[in-house]
Structure 1
């Protein structure tokens, strides 16, 4: 077996391996690293394992840089899970070992949806909420509790509409996204990042916008497509339209698309058990799956010791951020967001 750094010429074979792997997800496709490079100038160092001329494992990595803190290797930044895909635990271990060596003493972080057979203790108590999909949206709708079915149908009865497309909807999505992130007290990604993701994923991406009866955007989201699993990295709704439940129509639109197009699972993304987003995703029938985040060198004890202090600082910053005008929060946030790997 040989491990090497993949080039753009390897993209078709890489993507085919990811698409066919039972644990593969859309973030592991070549497009994520391409978007990171295009929007934020960060280089990929994707590792490819081959045996007898055929791919037997991949590990997507990005060289992440923060001023005054140096570089680290992350699989992957800006999402819940990247990590290694391999034909065997042995190949996976070899890929991880190669990545740690490539980091050359700097941090190497692997965010995985599957547990490694070796490595430091995982660094998160977060879970990934995964819904196994039936064949067709009619069966999916029939399986929902009556209260949830009513919440899905109500926005349509009230005159809300939804449009699904691609690049032509990005700027409308971004207006909703930026306002929602300000309300949450979090810096927003740059518009260039969103445009890059949508452009690089091309046919493996969909953008949807929910409109009020008056034609105002009320909610918007983006899904990324793997041959088996649909992932939703971003979904936002404007608080002033909460009474219309646009978020329910947005998620149902994506779920309906996934079920009707033969996808096996819908990945709602990262949540903390017991919190509001966890309960929202759970009501659709999504089940928690552990997320395994590993870091070399292993400094889990240090991270845990500083957890309360860091949480307090985040809450203070979030409170200040929520008071900023949306244009200012967007302008500042889009400049600093590239340095926040989550």
Structure 2
């Protein structure tokens, strides 16, 4: 086996599409999205045997002011770590990556895994990984068609969904034309949570790079956007990385109707799985998602630090941020969000 830099999508995405454990974030197009919007340097590396990829890892040199660099696979998402045909190929890849990127000094190597590859026993030049396991992925197995899917839910859940409709809520599903409505809800909700928001150009670039694979669902109250979700179609899944709702409308069951419409879309597309994204165990979002009866998949984030690496404190919740005027939070948010890898 040998280490190879992959600079074109065909060979890379062919391996991703054929691998049963691949994530949508393994796709080559995210290289362009993250690099062009946030200027983090991408290095897409693969272990190659007899001319064919046997393992790969998408990495970004994540830079923060006043801190040494960190190589992350990949920032802003839950899991896109090593994708390998077997454990041997994955371990070979990590060992070569560590040496190639010079992580033994001040840098750190971090990978975000869900399944396929266990890095807990990988020792890189005497360094054992630090393992973070506080987050879990949540997925729902879909029934064939919306009616059958609705029938799988408990009576209380069905009642809450129907209550949203009786409260006069409406919805729309589409592509880039719904981005202004989505971003209006998303930015307001992130500010209220104390979280710096992603740049509008981040979502625009996703639509540009992945035409026909991304959708937006918006729930309205009297014509005003009250809740919105961003979903991505990958293989037999519909993945929901971002969803938001405005607090003043939640008593109308906007969240329940939003999630049902996203699940309904997945059923109409004849998909098998609705991926609800990550949640911290015991958090409010985790409890909300538990109502839908999802399967839990533990997420393991591994990191190997160099000799003099000083780890930055990272959080998406910044209390003073909640007090900013919305225009100020929207202006400053992407500048700060760029340096938060979560």
Judge conservation of contact 2:190–2:197 (CA < 8 Å) in 1. yes
5+ residue gaps in structure 1? none
The aligned counterpart of 1:67 is 65
TM-superposed CA distance for 1:4, in Å, is 0.7
Contact 1:72-1:103 at 8 Å conserved across structures: no
Q: Output the CA distance in 1 between the equivalents of 2:23 and 2:173.
A: 21
In the alignment, which of 277, 280, 287 is matched to residue 295 of structure 2? Answer: 287
The yes-or-no answer on 1:187 pairing with 2:165 is no
1:132-211 aligned within 5 A: 132-211=141-220
Contact persistence 1:93–1:116 (CA under 8 A): no
Alignment partners' CA distance in 2, 1:231 and 1:151: 23
Equivalence for 2:244: 236
CA contact (8 A) 2:176 2:204 kept: yes
Aligned-pair distance for 1:222?
Answer: 0.7
Distance 1:262 1:18, change over 3 A: farther
SS in 2 for 1:285: coil
Question: Does the aligned pair in 1 maintain the 2:22–2:83 contact within 8 Å?
Answer: yes
Give 1:6-17 correspondences, 5 Å limit.
Answer: 6-8=6-8, 11-17=9-15
**CA-CA distance at 1:46 after TM superposition:** 0.9
In the TM superposition, 1:209-224 aligns within 5 A as 209-212=218-221, 214-224=222-232
Q: Distance in 2 between matches of 1:17 and 1:228?
A: 16
Structure 2, unmatched stretches of 5+, are 123-128
- 1:5 aligned partner: 5
Contact between 2:141 and 2:274, CA under 8 Å: does it hold in 1? yes
| More helix as a share of residues | 1
Q: Under a length normalisation based on structure 1, what TM-score does the superposition of the two structures give?
A: 0.90
After TM superposition, the runs of 4+ consecutive aligned structure 1 residues lying more than 3 A away are none
* CA 72–122 in structure 1, closer or farther in 2 if over 3 Å, else same: same
Contact 2:130/2:304, CA 8 A, preserved across alignment: no
Measure the CA separation in 2 of the matches of 1:281 and 1:217.
Answer: 22
Question: Residue 116 of structure 1 is aligned with which of 92, 115, 118?
Answer: 118
Instruction: Tell me the SS of whatever aligns to 1:222.
Output: strand
The alignment partner of 2:12 has SS state of helix
In the alignment, is the contact (CA less than 8 A) between 1:19 and 1:25 conserved in 2?
no
Name the CA distance, whole Å, in 1 between partners of 2:275 and 2:327.
Answer: 31
Alignment deviations for residues 228-267 of structure 1 (CA, whole Å, 9 cap, x no partner): 2222111001112112222212111111121232322222
Distance 1:264 1:20, change over 3 A: farther
Q: Are the equivalent residues in 2 in contact too, given 1:205–1:224 (CA < 8 A)?
A: yes
Offset, 1:298: 7.8
Q: Is the 8 A contact 1:123 1:292 kept in 2?
A: yes
| Cα separation, 1, equivalents of 2:156 and 2:306 | 46
CA 1:262–1:52: 2 relative to 1, 3 Å:
farther
In the alignment, the residues of structure 2 paired with residue 19 and residue 223 of structure 1 have an alpha-carbon distance, to the nearest angstrom, of: 19
Question: SS of the counterpart of 2:197?
Answer: coil
**Using a 3 Å threshold, how does the CA distance of structure 1 residues 135 and 12 change in structure 2: closer, same or farther?**
farther
Describe the shift of the 1:66–1:319 C-alpha distance in structure 2 as closer, same or farther (beyond 3 A): closer
RMSD of aligned residue pairs (Cα, Å): 2.1
CA offset at residue 195 of structure 1? Answer: 1.4
- How far 1:99 sits from its partner (Å)? 2.3
What does residue 90 of structure 1 align with?
88
Partner Cα distance (1:216, 1:44) in 2: 39
CA distance in 2, matches of 1:204, 1:101: 36
